Amino acid sequence: MNDMEEDLRRVLGRAAERAPRAPGKLVSHVTATSVRRRARRRIAVTGLAVAVIAGGVAIAVSDLRPGGEGHAAAVAASATAGPEAAQDEAGVRARLREQAGEGAFRGEEPMRDDPPPSPPLKPVEQVWPEAVRKVPAAPGGKDVHPRAFIDDRTLLVDTWVSLEKPDAIYAYDLETASLREIAKVPAPEGTVLFASDYAVGSGRVAWWSARRAGGGKTIDLWTAPLSGGAAEPLLSFPGRDLDHLAVAGDRLVFSREDGGVYTVPLAGGGLQPVRGAAGRHLLRWPWAGAGGRAPEGEEPTFTELWNAETGEKRTALVKAGERAVRCGLATCYGEKPGGGYFYRMRDGSGEKALPHGTFPITGEFARDRYYTAPFPAERGLGGAALYDAATGRAADLGVAPEDGGESVETPGFSPDGRLLAYPKGGELHVIDADKLG
């Protein structure tokens, strides 16, 4: 395999990272044409085509209607979950019970194969008015790409000098619709993977890039002060890919593509492997397990969790015959033996069906409950919706289908699970998951 083929393999792997498995009848043939990670990637799956565009997913399905064979298939690309120190399993469970109702997770709800809610769903700004903001998509004439919340009123955004090649990062004030430059984004000679997986914390923003060097690939870690200043190289080391990059206190934490959890002091220093984490991938610091960006086959993912700070282990229930089970800190979802998808707590309680044919297009829930997915119309697709798996609420994101209902671009949440943002009609629609509920 030459370098170009290897890069293509990696691009497609990242495009399908964390993707739920489509029903077996659908996956009879896959072709892919793409040469850029997170750029316009297309994967065709018998009766289904998926285009991943800058963090969103455009889905085209020839048979995506209630009861249709193509009703439950997608391939997704998304960055991974960042650290939320307060979101331990107990805290997430308590919040889910409080917001969904005390009885929501007591017993097991009978599993149903109902179709998803028929359009029209209510607009998201009517269902969750406190969580939605609309701001200019090009403040000061600059096309911006939202990456994360810096605080409740400020977004981290970047601008591109060309497709998927960031040249600067900014703080976007949602109250005043103004931009403040944080730093220029360096791209050393030989860079092949540009600024990726921005992480915010401890007054800094961090990211990584990759370049060719000495016949192989080198990972470069970067940081910059959120107050503004020059981007600073933190560390370089041989490697091809990282996942789950996050700021945890005074350290940068991440997993490597072949497993293992590592830390680097934000003040500078060497790469420090976390003892006992070999082969594991971060889910959300300090929890790690078997998984990573693109788990192969239909084996359970993150059902076994290990705490990198305390050594505590947790195991989620997986029932016989279930496929592609993927777990978060507090909940799991997967495909039932008879078809359709379930959602439940890690201990197996409170099981309920996801709307028939829907599942998280990014492969995971934001805040252990929220996800986006396309919904069907009488013919083809009706649009994209935001779902709350804990309560069953759903809202129309207002993303219009294209090509006569044959495709729809479905936005996904940011790596830390808080931000859902997408352009529409000259505006940027910004949804804060911390204000959903």
Mean pLDDT confidence for 239-254: 95
pLDDT band at 16 (very low <50, low <70, confident <90, very high): very low
At 326, which amino acid appears?
Answer: R
pLDDT of residue 58: 52
Q: Considering only residues 214 and 313, tell me which one the structure prediction assigns the higher pLDDT.
A: 313
Q: How many domains does the chain have?
A: 1
Cα–Cα distance, 301 to 308 (Å, whole number): 17
Give me the domain span that covers residue 282: 3-435
Average pLDDT, the chain: 79
| Rounded percentage of the chain residues whose pLDDT exceeds 70 | 71
Q: How far is CA 226 from the centre of its chain?
A: 23
| Residue pLDDT, tens place only, 85-129 | 334 555 555 555 555 554 444 444 444 444 444 557 999 999 999
**pTM, to two decimals:** 0.78
Strand, helix or coil for residue 404? helix
pLDDT of residue 437: 77
Tokens of 370: 């929220």
pLDDT band at 362 (very low <50, low <70, confident <90, very high): confident
| Residue pLDDT, tens place only, 262-275 | 999 999 999 999 99
- Would you mind telling me the total number of residues written for the chain in this entry? 437
Q: Considering only residues 22 and 385, tell me which one the structure prediction assigns the higher pLDDT.
A: 385
At 399, which amino acid appears?
Answer: V
pLDDT of residue 74: 35
Cα–Cα distance, 345 to 355 (Å, whole number): 17
Cα–Cα distance, 285 to 254 (Å, whole number): 9
Q: Is pLDDT of 357 > 80?
A: no
pLDDT of residue 424: 94
| Residue among 284, 288, 265, 266 at smallest CA distance from 275 | 288
Number of DSSP helices (H) and strands (E) in the chain, helices first? 3, 31
